């Protein structure tokens, strides 16, 4: 019997599941509108282990990670500092067996001093973690968050995408830290990496990376066109006034979330010379349509 592909492996909350010879996934029990079935934590390697996104400070989840990796966990890295990804980092380290002072478990991320996250070292584009079993390379992918990193498992061309790409939903871009122009640029750069699969922080593995990137870009550009058309029709409007017009395909209960991505689209339109406002950092500001020159 042929074993299931990584994309076919179901999300199982609270138990590690194998995705490849190097990768296991452990899903936290924090399902919701923003987290889907829960935050995926990934363990890469067996003799020396990297933990990607320990998740929230959820003791049951962190204990499961510690039990799965034990004293073989050498690195704890985060994709970004949002509350469902990074708060568990320090607590997880406390749960692990003690290591010599000169060889500690290292907590790593793009930026310290933000959202309560304090890494041992700040890492960025091109930072590499090397072990006998694997090479893991960091890619700076701002957009969803300015401090967002994806991690590429070189041997498998598997991208751990955090919230840059998810399975089952699109990504919320929330200004001022979230930036739609940066997000689309970060999506485009992934095309050239020769990816074979994407392991997102929420949802199952994606086995056709280019198709998913195309889907995301097409969706964003279509939404941008809808925002531009609605603003052109109104001439002057606010985010709150535009949301029910642009997001007619979304349940009204999700308008409070959708407004942030719409705001991000307006900020991109401003950068492109197609919209104008007195205060782009105010979600309640009035926006004006700018006709093409």
pLDDT in tens, 153-200: 999 999 999 999 999 889 999 999 999 999 999 999 999 999 999 999
**Beta-carbon contacts of residue 123 (< 8 Å; ≥ 6 apart):** 77, 108, 109, 110, 138, 149
State residue 158's pLDDT score. Answer: 98
pTM of the model: 0.95
pLDDT one-digit tens code per residue, 91-111 = 999 999 988 889 999 999 998
Q: Residue 153: beta bridge partners?
A: 136, 158
Distance set, CA 124 to CA 108, 149, 238, 258 (Å): 10, 7, 36, 30
Domain boundaries along the sequence of the chain: 6-207, 217-289
Residues of the chain by 3-state class (helix, strand, coil), percent to 5: 30, 25, 45
- In the chain the first and final C-alpha atoms are separated, in Å, by 63
**Is the separation of the CB atoms in 145 and 171 below 8 Å?**
no
Side-chain-side CA neighbours of 242 within 13 Å: the count stands at 33
DSSP three-state, residue 16? coil
Q: Residue 36: beta bridge partners?
A: 32
The distance of Cα 243 from the centroid of its chain, to the nearest Å, equals 24
Residue 131 CB burial class (10 angstroms; 0-12, 13-18, ≥19): middle
Query: What CATH fold (topology level) applies to the domain 6-207?
Result: Metallo-beta-lactamase; Chain A (3.60.15)
- 238 sits in the region (left: phi over 0; alpha: psi -120 to 50; else beta) called beta
The residue to which tokens 């086995």 are assigned: 207
**Is the separation of the CB atoms in 277 and 286 below 8 Å?**
yes
Confidence of residue 293 (pLDDT cuts 50, 70, 90): low
DSSP three-state, residue 136? strand
Side-chain-side CA neighbours of 199 within 13 Å: the count stands at 32
In the chain, the percentage of residues whose pLDDT exceeds 70 is: 98
Q: Residue 52: beta bridge partners?
A: 42, 77
pLDDT one-digit tens code per residue, 57-69 = 999 999 999 999 9
Topology agreement, domain 6-207 and domain 217-289: no
Read off the pLDDT of each residue in 254-259 and give the average, rounded to a whole number. Answer: 95
Indicate whether 78 pLDDT > 60: yes
Q: Which CATH architecture has domain 217-289?
A: Orthogonal Bundle (1.10)
State residue 168's pLDDT score. Answer: 87
pLDDT one-digit tens code per residue, 275-285 = 999 999 999 99
Residue 121 CB burial class (10 angstroms; 0-12, 13-18, ≥19): exposed
Distance set, CA 100 to CA 93, 97, 259 (Å): 13, 10, 49
């Amino acid at each position: 019997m042929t074993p299931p592909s990584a994309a076919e492996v179901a999300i199982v909350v609270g138990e590690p599941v194998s995705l490849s010879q190097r990768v296991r996934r452990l899903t936290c029990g924090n399902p919701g509108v923003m987290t889907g079935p829960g935050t995926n934590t990934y363990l890469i390697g067996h003799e020396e282990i990297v933990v990607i996104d320990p998740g929230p400070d959820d003791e049951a989840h962190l204990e499961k990670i510690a039990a799965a990796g034990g004293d073989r966990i050498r690195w704890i890295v985060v994709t970004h500092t949002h509350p469902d990804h990074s708060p568990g980092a320090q607590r997880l380290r406390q749960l692990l067996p003690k290591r010599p002072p000169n060889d500690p478990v290292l907590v790593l991320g793009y930026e310290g001093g933000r959202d309560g996250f304090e890494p041992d070292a700040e890492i960025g584009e091109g930072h590499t973690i090397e072990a006998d079993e694997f090479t893991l390379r960091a890619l700076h992918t701002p957009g969803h968050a300015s401090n967002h990193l994806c991690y590429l498992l070189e041997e498998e061309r598997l991208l751990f995408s955090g919230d840059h790409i998810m399975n089952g939903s699109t990504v919320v871009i929330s200004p001022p830290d979230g930036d739609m122009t940066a997000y689309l640029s970060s999506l485009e750069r992934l095309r050239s990496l020769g990816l074979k699969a994407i392991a997102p922080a929420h949802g199952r593995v994606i086995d056709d990376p280019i198709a998913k990137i195309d889907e995301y870009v097409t969706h964003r550009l279509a939404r941008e066109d809808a925002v531009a058309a609605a603003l052109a029709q109104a001439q002057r409007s606010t985010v709150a006034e535009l949301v029910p017009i642009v997001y007619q395909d979304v349940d009204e209960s999700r308008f409070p979330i959708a407004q942030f991505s719409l705001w991000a689209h307006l900020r991109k339109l401003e950068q492109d010379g197609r919209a104008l406002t007195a205060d782009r950092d105010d979600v309640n500001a009035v926006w004006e349509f700018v006709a093409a020159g």
